[in-house]
Structure 1
């Protein structure tokens, strides 16, 4: 069925959704999302060359990552959704087996770079065809509102030819390609040269990673007993699976409303008990205090709930 819709959820610690564990995992992955591959390799080389087990560089790396998030939140307080962007990065790497082509956080915090619309660009090569994934991450109070936001963002990007070409230009000029061997780099550069080779063999897909508050199903609990430890997670998984048809219908309607080609879109809906809590715990795990200007995402209107 198109569009492709996958349902994910936070893991359980017996009967408790383990939001803190997810926040910790994402904060640990923030270094891979935020720092360019070249900078990460430089840190690895320096750590390897260190003498007497010197790990002082680890503190410097941590400060560099926190500094990037602090700077971005300070300059763009209304866009404090980095936890969603890191989550999208992890989904692309794990579920799509697609490597990050450019570290967008590094560009967004550069003094001479604008804030770019896409949250990530990943790619994989299969059967000689380059698969390029344009990532859009959304934090939302409901799956319906998040899907609507995603559809609007995809329309805005799809209708902006200048931005489309600019994103490919960023990958060619500022991406992680310099870490490849010369032959692999030339091969990939040929795929990415949309200016002089617009018909090169590549498949482009829009990927929406929507992290939302699933208040209904997380409230539907089973009793704690001495039975199978995973029964609470299994119970929740069944409830979520039963909603797949509804989520797919909503996604199809939202994309159709915007006149988008659903066959070129795939959505990952990630259910958590409270997306605001996840964001707060993510910042806490990074060592950042909550920002007063962070907007609440869990408030939804009755019309939004009904549209799902």
Structure 2
């Protein structure tokens, strides 16, 4: 019964992300590599008039800052009190405070970590929830600015439950934005290998155990989920660990788009982007194998953009980062 409750609870907290399909397009393909546990996915900003709609993409994903960076329990508590608020202004104020807190977390996390990849983390969060049907279970961004709580390892923690097999899939995310895809791959594989070390994975599990009360799951569902993290419970043996990885990189294929070919715009772009995936897929697979990760399950989201630098600047401006 506990496992039924977990399946029900996860279904409740999942959201309908299909609205993102107007901003993030998918290129279907049949490319596989000799890494049998690597799944290649190809996505890109929607095209309009032979241009990638990167600015529109940034404005859209920024709307989900609150859900990504704050604990679900905190966000849902505000939503639950909306009906008791007397005026529309009060309701607007409550939501605005959440948004301000989320933006502040991003800025503080950047200053403390010296990282500028949070746009990639947000994209990976959305793709994981949307396409892998796996809700985020711990908002790590809300922990990154706590000096008393060292938060390293993967960028995100998501879960999916298969009720037919009573199997829990634990997704650990890693996002890399780099103008040079070769360097992005090398950096991603290094981070994945480090994150999968016994010490780092134990840290990830402990984060879930310590902060699961903020997940938005009810007590029965939380108890069931924790059984999969307890080595003294039989359910522990029915847990799968999967790495999700987003690699954003500069892609010259956008420069070859022509306003004279609007009818075939997406088709032509998908052809060139798929050719790039056919080239780099085996490189990523080899890098995983060379790193001793031949048996690691990996979902790779390849995300070509006209310019990683522009994407990063647009995102920082959207959420109010000031350039140092």
TM-score normalised by L of structure 1: 0.86
Measure, in 1, the Cα distance between the counterparts of 2:84 and 2:45. Answer: 38
Q: Which residue of 2 aligns with 1:124?
A: 160
Q: Which residue of 1 aligns with 2:122?
A: 86
Q: Could you tell me which of 181, 184, 201 is aligned with 1:143?
A: 181
Q: Which residue of 1 aligns with 2:74?
A: 39
Q: Is the 8 A contact 1:102 1:176 kept in 2?
A: no
Q: Does 1:277 align with 2:307?
A: no
Measure, in 2, the Cα distance between the counterparts of 1:201 and 1:163. Answer: 20
Measure, in 1, the Cα distance between the counterparts of 2:260 and 2:98. Answer: 42
Tell me how far 1:262 sits from its aligned partner.
Answer: 4.9
Worse-superposed segment, 170-179 or 61-70: 170-179
Measure, in 2, the Cα distance between the counterparts of 1:251 and 1:95. Answer: 21
Gapped runs of 5+ residues in structure 2? 1-31
TM-score normalised by L of structure 2: 0.82
Q: Is the 8 A contact 2:71 2:142 kept in 1?
A: yes
Mapping for residues 1-308 of structure 1, pairs under 5 Å: 1=32, 2=36, 3-54=38-89, 55-77=92-114, 79-126=115-162, 127=164, 128-159=166-197, 161-175=198-212, 179-194=216-231, 199-214=236-251, 216-224=252-260, 228=263, 231-289=264-322, 291-292=323-324
Tell me how far 1:197 sits from its aligned partner.
Answer: 5.6
CA pair 147-62 structure 1, distance change in 2 beyond 3 A: same
Runs of 4+ with deviation above 6 angstroms: none
Equivalent pairs, count: 285
Measure, in 2, the Cα distance between the counterparts of 1:178 and 1:271. Answer: 32
Q: Is the 8 A contact 2:65 2:99 kept in 1?
A: no
For residues 94-136 of structure 1, what are the alpha-carbon distances to aligned partners after superposition, in whole Å with 9 as ceiling and x for unaligned?
A: 1111010100001101231113121001010112211111101
CA pair 43-144 structure 1, distance change in 2 beyond 3 A: same
Q: Report the 3-state secondary structure (helix = DSSP H, G, I; strand = E; otherwise coil) of the residue aligned with 1:192.
A: coil
Question: Alpha carbon RMSD of aligned pairs, Å?
Answer: 1.9
